[in-house]
Chain A
């Protein structure tokens, strides 16, 4: 049974660094072909892909966030992480992590709400 769960600070101030954790079970990030991605969704809006990390440690980032993103993983503890530096109010959103197979994002976490506010 595959599950993923995101965790984060809930609320933070502009210019701070957002640190998110995705804890998962039912698969391993050391298995060939498996990746974990982060996607976000502002309230009432569409989906924005942020970053992906794969089993062999390759990474992909959305260039629209201008080098503010860092994705990493802890294979032993079945976790993936995302850091976003210099947040502002535009980063307020629900953040999802999802397992990615070659065909798409087949399992998603429940999402974690992050609010950036002074």
Chain B
């Protein structure tokens, strides 16, 4: 199975700041990576697909990038509504696997 090591597990940031969340794949997943946002009591929402493509309707302050097997989600100009848990997920090969999640709190 492809392991997705996500970091950090949690972070706290202030409104207007920029934060970065990372996922390291245990092998090459050829950009087959998605990022999701999940708020308490809600279903996950797709933010980024194919490592760097912004899903329709998602604010442009969210962006994705990659370097080798390291994938990053950057959130610029943090807003209060960005407080959530973020997950990465590889869809290169079965079994699809998710990162453990990053809980983002706003100070």
* A interface residues with partner B (beta carbon < 8 Å): 37, 46-49, 52, 60-64, 96, 100-101, 103-106, 108-111
- Complex Cα spacing A100 to B49, Å: 11
- Whether B87 contacts A47 by the Cβ 8 Å rule is yes
Contacts of A46 in B (CB 8 A): 87, 98-101
Contacts of B89 in A (CB 8 A): 47, 49, 104-105
Cross-chain pairs A/B with CB under 8 angstroms, 19 sampled: A37-B96, A46-B87, A46-B101, A47-B36, A47-B89, A49-B89, A49-B97, A49-B98, A52-B94, A61-B94, A62-B95, A103-B53, A104-B36, A105-B36, A105-B46, A105-B89, A106-B46, A106-B49, A111-B43
- A-B Cβ contacts below 8 A, count: 60
Chain A interface main SS type? strand
Question: What is the CB-to-nearest-CB distance from B72 to chain A, in angstroms, rounded to a whole number?
Answer: 16
- Whether B34 contacts A104 by the Cβ 8 Å rule is yes
